[in-house]
Amino acid sequence: MSERPVRVRFAPSPTGPLHIGGVRTALYNYLFAKQNGGKFLLRIEDTDQKRFVPGAEEYINQSLAWLGMSPDEGVKEGGEYGPYKQSERMDQYAAYAEQLVQNGNAYYAFDTPEELDEMRAKLEANSMSAKYDSTSRMSMKNSLTLSEDEVKERLKRGDKYIIRIKLQRNEEIRFHDEIRGWIVFNSSQLDDKVLLKEDGLPTYHLANIVDDHLMEITHVIRGEEWLPSAPLHVILYSYLGWESTMPKFAHLPLILKPDGKGKLSKRDGDRLGFPVFPLEWKSTEGEISSGYRESGYMPEAVVNMLAMLGWHPTDNQELFTMNELINAFSLEKVSKSGAKFDMDKAKWYNHHYLMKASSSQLRNMVDHQISEVHLSRGEHYLLQVLEILKEKVSFAGDILPLGQYFFDVPETYDENVKRKKWKDEIPMHITNYVDGLLSEHKSKASEMEEYLQTYADDQRLSKGILMQPLRWVVSGQAGGPPIFQMLELIGLEEIRRRVDIAKEKF
């Protein structure tokens, strides 16, 4: 078989906000497609109308766009294989289910809910698993047990029915998973899954296979929770005669809770204090779940962090831009075991990308926090403050609150510094030093630093004992950005004013 052009899909069901596990699935699909010069599709799997949640589809679109992994084909993007939403493809699935019935690989089942309950109860009473399968189906009402005439009669009079797949008993099903190697199941572990529901609509299994086939998907890259469905899918490919173009499978490991105990769930995020959704989500009941974007994460950081949850490169490199990931990613390097979520690591990534951000990017990130006071010394001054403080924070949103003193007299003064350092001759020395800077016009950081050395030498002091009080009178803080850079930015006149204020206060 000649190699087909790579086509992969991310196929979420719009049942709520997209969990970061789903985002990672989308990312790995995206990386794989781009690396292979292929196409990344977004297919909305909304066959289960009962679970439909308004806004979820738009949420998926926005999340992918924010993270920079826009689909090549999809509901919004269009494409030659559309429609890309299953609810708009509903008329095409039934024919495949019928085809399977005609070939003897599926059957009509007419059982009522009561009859099904009865069967389950009977099986359970005999300690058998309550499955509709190759054994139990023979005592049920279906086209395998009823006469041909009766089946025809029932169909004619419009009796309700569903179509189930007819699995063979004790048949070995093998397939190769790109991450896990050979996977072997026995058909007796499975049940005769419903393919077409009473209302004529397909179940997930049928719609998923039919669409993957018609959309010429070459690789199915999805979460581990779908591994138990894979043997059924493999059988469907063979029953439908599509074996030769069956996609390759890759089942991704779970993302685990930080302590490694179980899957990271939708509820864990706000319980453990970190987002599990890319964007903030407001449920129809008005409940808000936090998002990475609103919590101040940069998309580059989220992409990098998610890429490393389950995949590792050949060397120990941890920092990757999207383009670097596209080059380095490989399914073989995706691990089989779950990846623990690590919040400190997430912050570490964000800090890294914050350090790389330009001041105007930072400016955009804090735009919603900016008030008049931040602009009182002009736009350029604001940009410089953002620049000088970014190394001190994990999130852009923490910069302005941390840097209050760049815009006004400190709101608070660190008590410890006052108690330990602001005593004896220190206030006098600080005043003399600052007066000296003023009279000698030393306003550059390097000049201020040099002059402090000169002053300390003259006074036979160690300059160390002046530095912290100097920072403190100006910022109120015990620590902060490089002191002379901070002083240069705040400016001599303002420093002088703050020295007086501190002397008066303390």
Residues that bind ligand GLU (CB under 6 A): 11-13, 45, 208, 222, 226
Report in angstroms the alpha-carbon separations of 202 from 121, 165, 193, 359: 27, 12, 11, 52
Amino acid, single-letter form, for residue 450: E
β-bridge mates for residue 183, sequence order: 175
Of the candidates 331, 24, 21, 22, the one whose C-alpha atom is nearest the C-alpha of residue 179 is 331
Which residues 6+ apart lie within 8 Å of 369 measured at CB? 397, 400
Annotate 465-481 with b (16+ C-beta within 10 A) or e (fewer): ebbbbbbbbbbbbbebb
* Shortest Cβ 251–ligand GLU spacing (Å): 10
Q: Which is nearer to ligand GLU, 13 or 350 (CB)?
A: 13
12 vs 310 by CB, closer to ligand GLU: 12
**Bridge partners, residue 184, by sequence:** 174
Question: Which is closer to ligand GLU, CB of 223 or CB of 436?
Answer: 223
Q: Is the Cβ of residue 59 or residue 395 nearer to ligand GLU in the bound state?
A: 59
Residue 11 or 165: the one with the smaller Cβ distance to ligand GLU is 11
Nearer to ligand GLU, 56 or 101 (CB): 56
Burial group, residue 419, by CB count within 10 angstroms (0-12, 13-18, 19+): exposed
In angstroms, what is the minimal distance from the CB of 226 to ligand GLU? 5
Task: Phi first, then psi: give them for residue 367, nearest 5 degrees.
Answer: -50, -45
Q: How is residue 452 written in tokens? A: 């402090």
Q: Is 181 left (phi over 0), alpha (psi -120 to 50) or beta?
A: left
Q: Min. distance of Cβ 232 from ligand GLU in angstroms?
A: 11
Token couple for 468? 């912290």
Residue 106 pairs in a beta bridge with 165
Both tokens of residue 118?
């009865």
Place of tokens 């309550």: 130
Q: Which is nearer to ligand GLU, 11 or 417 (CB)?
A: 11
CA atoms within 13 A on the CB side of 114: 0
Helix, strand, or coil (residue 145):
coil
| Axis crossing angle, helix 483-490 with helix 445-458, rounded to the nearest 10 | 110
Q: How far is the CB of 9 from ligand GLU (least distance, A)?
A: 7
Minimum Å distance from CB 301 to ligand GLU? 25
The CB-of-415 to ligand GLU minimum distance in angstroms stands at 54
Name the residue nearer to ligand GLU (CB basis): 96 or 405. 96
CB of 22 to ligand GLU, least distance (A): 7
Helix axes 426-439, 464-475, angle to 10 degrees: 80
What kind and span of H or E run contains 221?
A: strand 219-223
d(CA 401, CA 385): 12
How near is the Cβ of 277 to ligand GLU at its closest, in Å? 15
Identify which of residues 208 and 289 has a Cβ nearer to ligand GLU in the complex.
208
Contacts (Cβ under 8 Å, ≥6 apart) of 271: none
Cα(471)–Cα(486) distance, rounded to whole angstroms?
9
- In 49-147, alpha helices (H): 56-66, 93-102, 113-125
Beta carbon of residue 44, minimum distance to ligand GLU (angstroms, whole number): 9
Nearby residues of 216 by Cβ (< 8 Å), 6 or more positions away: 4, 7, 81, 245
Which positions are annotated as active-site residues?
Answer: 266
